[in-house]
Structure 1
């Protein structure tokens, strides 16, 4: 009992050091003026500038942050919607048709997608050649492709826990392949679907590199790219930069707080089989 309490205390202290202290540093500096925030200290400000700083962030560059929130939200919703359907179908087929050289090769390709980094220049050339460069559709396809391997592996592991008798009974009753998946299998995938939604939403919403390369332009800015608004070669408005970080951290933080139990459930659902 004493050992468990000690382990819990140590874990709490570590989480405080790793997460809460940096978060406190960001929040407290977002309330300072430009001169005080440049000191990069954890001291309380001599005067609070909450309204001034956050209003300046929201109105900067003709309300770029608001446009960026809209762009990031659209990108996240579209990417998740496509990814769930595609990855769930792929995971179901990969698990139910295991065995054979073709299945092994496809599994290898899925795993390779986790290890091989994307090629920036060839991808830009492909997108530009088909007219999808600098478009929402193009960056959506990029996000789906990059997150597909991880999501497909999660779905495959979870499908392994579903008995094949469910498929066989549905087929005997005259259920086709598409109806079998959409009406019977897909509703049973809710735990892992919740995990994919939360984890992928956070990754896509906070993505910096891919929108920078594949979705450039002031009108196409996403929330992470708004950090450039308050950084320059000679002077950086650290108070506004930290205020921007606080604002763009709120949606993923709320999502994680409310769905953290479902994340763990979905990640461990396929641990017994598969």
Structure 2
């Protein structure tokens, strides 16, 4: 084994070890607490449960508080699907226009897109706007809020990816008689599949795990999301720490599965615009 390969092997081993410590150990801690009895879990010790009751805790968590976990998962799923769908549609169209069209308004639009990543959201004025539109405390209003929060990042990804698509494809489609809508839908959009998958997975995890947004803009208890359910769960069941950790485990499963199956597409979509081809 050469010195370079030995060095690469050592660095890779250290990276795997650090990743295991940072991610796997906290996950194992959650699993252990979720399998314990209330008295054992309250000690918060990193130890094997004396009385293994993982499946009983799983059932108790899903049925506690009138099934608040079930309602939260359904609400978060609807919120995630609606928000990510709007992000993909609007972000793809805006990114294509910003990458292809050259106009005096381009720098202005780019400035506001970047400002969306830097400027923190104004909670009180946003609430006033939602109240004026009769959307405050409703799921459609929350979908618009989440879409707005993630749109800047989405547009930047699409714009970088479209920059790698040769303009000759657009010119050939126009010569074949394709209009703007057909050009985008039939030629450009199929080529955006890698970045679409990236946006779907990354933004879906962000929206699904968002706590501050629903806390401010969705105060209705009937439309509680998963993170608000954890907050409520902790407040109402302080003596049942095992059920709280079980709820954390249940809510962690969907984002974890999405990342495991789509991690290559995520990395490929994010780095696609880094190198001009």
User: Same fold by TM-score, threshold 0.5 exceeded?
Assistant: yes
1:57 aligns with 2:61: yes
Match of 1:83 in 2: 87
1:112 maps to: 115
What's the CA shift string for 1:101-152, capped at 9, x where partnerless?
4111110100000001111111111101111111111000011111000000
Superposition pairs of residues 15-54 of structure 1, within 5 angstroms? 15-54=19-58
Per the alignment, residue 193 of structure 1 pairs with 196
Alignment of 1:73-152 (within 5 A): 73-98=77-102, 100-152=103-155
SS in 1 for 2:164: coil
| Alignment partner, residue 239 of structure 1 | 242
Describe how 1:256-267 pairs up with structure 2 within 5 A. Answer: 256-267=259-270
Cα gap change, 1:234/1:206 in structure 2, threshold over 3 Å: closer, same or farther?
A: closer
Please, which runs of 5 or more residues in structure 1 have no aligned partner? none
1:162 is paired with a residue whose SS is coil
Displacement after TM superposition at 1:234 (Å): 9.3
- The CA deviation at 1:237 is 2.3
Distance (Å, rounded) in 1 between the aligned partners of 2:234 and 2:117: 33
Does the 8 Å CA contact 1:230/1:236 hold for their aligned counterparts? no
- Alignment equivalent of 1:226, drawn from 224, 229, 237: 229
Pairwise CA distance, 1:233 = 8.4
Deviation of 1:37 (Å): 1.0
CA distance in 1, matches of 2:141, 2:149: 13
Do 1:195 and 1:267's aligned partners in 2 also have CA atoms closer than 8 Å?
yes
Distance across 1 between alignment mates of 2:236 and 2:115: 39
Matches within 5 A, 1:246-261: 246-261=249-264
CA RMSD of aligned residues (A): 1.4
Superposed displacement of residue 186, structure 1: 0.6
Of 171-180 and 233-242, more deviation after overlay is shown by 233-242
Which among 137, 152, 156 is matched to residue 153 of structure 1?
A: 156
In 2, are the aligned partners of 1:71 and 1:222 still within 8 Å (CA)?
Answer: yes
Separation in structure 1 between the aligned mates of residue 266 and residue 136 of structure 2, nearest angstrom: 33
Give the SS at the match of 2:235.
coil
How far is the alpha carbon of 1:215 from its aligned partner? 1.3
Greater than 2 Å deviation, 4+ residue runs: 232-237
Change (3 A) 1:173 1:233: closer
Q: Quick one: distance in 2 between partners of 1:272 and 1:206?
A: 31
Does residue 167 of the first structure (1) align with residue 166 of the second (2)?
A: no
Cα separation, 2, equivalents of 1:14 and 1:124: 42
Measure the CA separation in 1 of the matches of 2:56 and 2:13. Answer: 39
| In structure 1, C-alpha distance between the alignment counterparts of 2:66 and 2:135, rounded to whole Å | 26
